[in-house]
Structure 1
Amino acid sequence: MILFLASRPVTAPPVRPAAPVRSTRRVRPVCPARRVRPPGFRFLAPYRRLFSVPGTRAFTAANLLARLPMGMLSVSAVLMIAATRGSYALAGAVTATGLAATALVGPLTARLIDRHGQACIAVPATVFAVLGSLSLLLCIRCHAPTWTLFASYAATATTPNTGGMSRARWAHLFRDDPAARHTANSFEQAADELCFMLGPVLATFLCTALFPEAGTLVAAACFLTGVLLFAAQRRTEPPIAARAPGHSGSRARSRTPLRLPGLPPLLLTFLATGAIFGSLEVVTVAYADDHGARSAAGAMLALQAAGSCAAGLLYGLLPPTTGPAHHLRRFRRCVGAMAALMLLPLLAARTGSLTALTCALLLAGMATAPTMVTGMGLIQSRTPAARLNEGMTLSVTALLAGIATGSAAGGYAVDYAVPAAAAALACVLALLTTRPPR
């Protein structure tokens, strides 16, 4: 027995774990560390959400490159023709011809884009428009007859609506998210204001610092490159609506947006809004020239566009509308605010102070982008998806026609009462003609 016990290995007795000591202090679970964003950047969360979707950054950057020449081409053409032919009247007539041709051909180009896709139509249309700009340049360099200038610039009418194509992509990507579409439309309007603010400044610098044709060359190169890059982003391109005979979608496809209920009154309001832009630009240049500060007119108009750009970005942070009636009510309020703020330049001009007028233009511009964003949202809500590009191009056509009319009226009267009257007309049209759709 002793030998048996001696042969067993000696092991320590098992130690029972001690009972846990209960504490009255509450222990919080350990969570992974979160990156705390500065408070000043939290308001950008809706815009970060937009560009977190794959492909959105690529097509937005390409579209901005293609959209910047929209504010350069007309100014470059005016400076190029005036420098070589010595006539601003001829330059204005040539650009007016191109504007009228774009108003006629633009909706047809957009209809083809809706039917056959953005990449299929936008690229050849852009190539044809760029060839028209280069033809204008060659006609000026070779001292061709005057009628060739009109024919060449009229060929640029096939220019596709790059802003409308970008909005169509946002509408497709966030078709089930009204808040994201609202933010995207606000961003697009701010981008429009930014391009039309920087485009004329860049065109003027190129045409005066280098040579008269430099603005047209750079604008044509940027336009063609931007559209090619934009068309290459196929995964975000809206699909082509299928044609089904006897289906309501096919009937909507064959029906022009001009016959859609509620759309013509909106286009009339856009026409009056375009008259504000056209007359405001001409009257500001004339007013600054009359006070011996013509070079300051560009900076004054740039501040007006900057106010609109900032207001557009801030407007995108507001919650979207909850229904058609609420959306229409907000549009009327925005148009009313634009009409009220457009009285500020009229009052400031009476003081004779350029500083006061510049501040008034900055404040007046803050109502522009919210009005355009809400109006474009109404256009999208009342236009079938199969005709979305055509519907938005019709709104741009109405704006262009209004700009031409406002420019003529502003040049004739040379008074800030013209844009104020146009804003009042837009407000009356929005209140009396627009109705919620049934």
Structure 2
Amino acid sequence: MLRTPGAWTFLAPAFAARLPYAMLSLGIVLLVLDTHGSYGTAGSVAAVSAVAQAFVGPQTGRLADRYGQAAVLVPSVVVHAVSVGALIALALGHAPVWSLFLAAAPAGASVPQVGAMVRARWVAKLSAEGASPAKLNTAFAFESVTDEFTFVIGPVLAGAIATSVTPSAGLIAEAALTVVGGLAFAAQRATAPARHPHQPGARRVSALSSPGVRLLAGAFLGVGTVFGAMQVSVTAFTESVGQPGANGTVYGIFAGGSMLAGVLYGMVAWRRAARHRMLASYALLVLGCSTLWAMPNLVALSVAGLVCGLAIAPTLITGYTLVETLVAEGAKTEAFTWLTGAIGLGLAIGSTVAGRLIDGHGPSAGFLVPLAGAGLGLVALVALRHLLIAPGSASPVVASSGERGGSRQLVGAAKG
């Protein structure tokens, strides 16, 4: 993938721009925990940010499909920097919790949807080159590995800066990376996918109108609860054993397991249908989450987290592969963003519920949330798996036939 002409021009700035996504939630938790002294409050503030990102993010994805990525990215990074600055100032000033919510909402809503935009660039580029569906699957595997690498580096970076400098420094670094990376990525217009402006008289529907996209969004919601609950629970667990600085490392091991699995997954030429792989990887995720609550020490928790993480990347890769076949060309970025947003919403739910359980019953209770969230996601996938079959042709309501021509070569990736 790295030898693809022009790939480095958008991959390098995209990495810098998406790294803050893995830093924001943990940075908020560490800052608010330091200033307000409650895991429940810290988790709730992080949850507000994640909820805003989950609901506003897909709308920015739709705007990016319609007006272009740069037109959305530039104002987003500016709003994000201002909002994070306001949140830091309010927290350090020990402002009321409701005021933290007011700052956290725009901070989350303005998170640049770089991961979805990069995937849309891969689809556009590989379609133009007439690449095989297998190469698209490899591109999504590459992107999942990149996502997980950011979740290895991001929490460690945020945790290290917050604990060694000051709790607010983690969020300052997050905002700086967002501005620099986001603007640099927006400047790479040559690799951006074509805009799909609304045609007069044409009916335009959301990517979420597809039942398969809604099912995948629900499944990714379950994955998000794993992320959110793990961040808060690992932080609480390391605090309880007197090693608060280890939180980023333990969470990084969890993400490292996913990154390793993503590398291996992308190397395999799969023959089984993607929907079957989705069920298998999700079942493994539930199995991995089932032991977290019983771990007696940091070493055991790190090992259990590594095992749990091994199922994350295959689940995400397969989900993105499936959703690409369920919508037409003009709704790709929006569809990818709905999945990313579902993860963010799940993260909000997971961090909030885990924070409340930790405050009331101790750190180990928070690890029950990943099991519950992933378990519900698996039930939905098994019951509604028929919705993951790609339609025979793309809908004409979001793209003209000429625009869809290149993507037809990639339809079928979900069938392995």
TM-score w.r.t. structure 1 length?
Answer: 0.79
Pick the aligned partner of 2:220 from 257, 265, 270: 270
- Say what the alpha-carbon RMSD is for the aligned residues: 2.5
Aligned counterpart, 1:314 = 264
Query: 2:190 corresponds to which residue?
Result: 235
- Does the C-alpha gap of structure 1 residues 147 and 408 become closer, same or farther in structure 2, counting only changes over 3 Å? closer
Aligned to 1:125: 76
Give the distance between the partners of 1:212 and 1:278, measured in 2 at CA: 19
Percent identity of equivalent pairs: 36
- Provide the aligned length of Structure 1 versus Structure 2: 378
Indicate if the aligned counterparts of 2:40 and 2:352 stay in contact, CA closer than 8 A.
no
Unaligned runs of 5+ in 2: 392-416
Structure 1: distance between partners of 2:264 and 2:112:
28
Deviation at 1:293, TM superposition (A): 4.7
Identify which of 51, 70, 77 aligns with 2:21: 70
For 1:101, the aligned partner's letter is: A
Q: Is 1:370 matched with 2:314?
A: yes
Give the match for residue 401 of structure 2.
Answer: none
Query: d(CA) in 2 for partners of 1:373 and 1:367?
Result: 10
Return the index of the structure with the highest Cα Rg. 1
Cα deviation, residue 109, structure 1: 1.4
Q: Deviations 1:29-83 (Å, cap 9, x if unpaired)?
A: xxxxxxxxxxxxxxxxxxxxx2222221121010000111112223333333444
Aligned to 2:121: 169
Q: 1:276 to 1:136 in 2, by over 3 A?
A: closer
Aligned-partner SS, 1:329: helix
Q: Give the one of 53, 58, 67 matched to 1:102.
A: 53
User: Which has the higher mean CA deviation after the structures are superposed, 126-135 or 353-362?
Assistant: 353-362
**In the alignment, is the contact (CA less than 8 A) between 1:58 and 1:233 conserved in 2?**
yes
Q: Aligned pair in 2 of structure 1 residues 320, 340: CA closer, same or farther (>3 Å)?
A: same
Per-residue deviation, 1:244: 4.2
Deviations 1:243-291 (A, max 9, x none): 4456xxx43xx11122113221222211222222333344444444445
Helix, strand or coil for the counterpart of 1:262? helix
Give the 3 Å change call, closer, same or farther, for CA 143–431 of structure 1 in structure 2. closer
Distance 2:266 2:213 in 1: 23
Alignment partner, residue 331 of structure 1: 278
Compute the displacement of 1:112 (Å): 0.9
Amino acid at match of 1:337: L
User: Take 1:374 and 1:290, find their aligned partners in 2: how far apart are those partners?
Assistant: 37
> CA contact under 8 A between 1:261 and 1:437: conserved in structure 2?
no
Larger deviation, residues 78-87 vs 272-281: 78-87
- The 3-state SS of whatever aligns with 1:236 is coil
> Per-residue deviation at 1:363?
1.8
Aligned to 1:35: none
**Per the alignment, do residues 90 and 281 of structure 1 end up closer, same or farther by CA in structure 2, a change over 3 Å counting?**
closer
SS of the equivalent of 2:325 reads helix
Q: Structure 1: 5+ residue runs without aligned partners? A: 1-49
| 1:344 and 1:361 in contact (8 A); partners too | no
Distance 2:207 2:102 in 1: 29
State the shift of 1:207 in Å. Answer: 2.6
**Residue 20 of structure 2: SS of its match in structure 1?**
helix
Question: What is the Cα deviation at residue 402 of structure 1?
Answer: 1.8
Structure 2 contact 148–258 (Cα < 8 Å) conserved: yes
Conserved in 1, the CA contact under 8 Å of 2:66 and 2:197? no
Considering Cα pairs closer than 8 Å and 6+ residues apart, tell me whether 1 or 2 has the greater RCO: 2
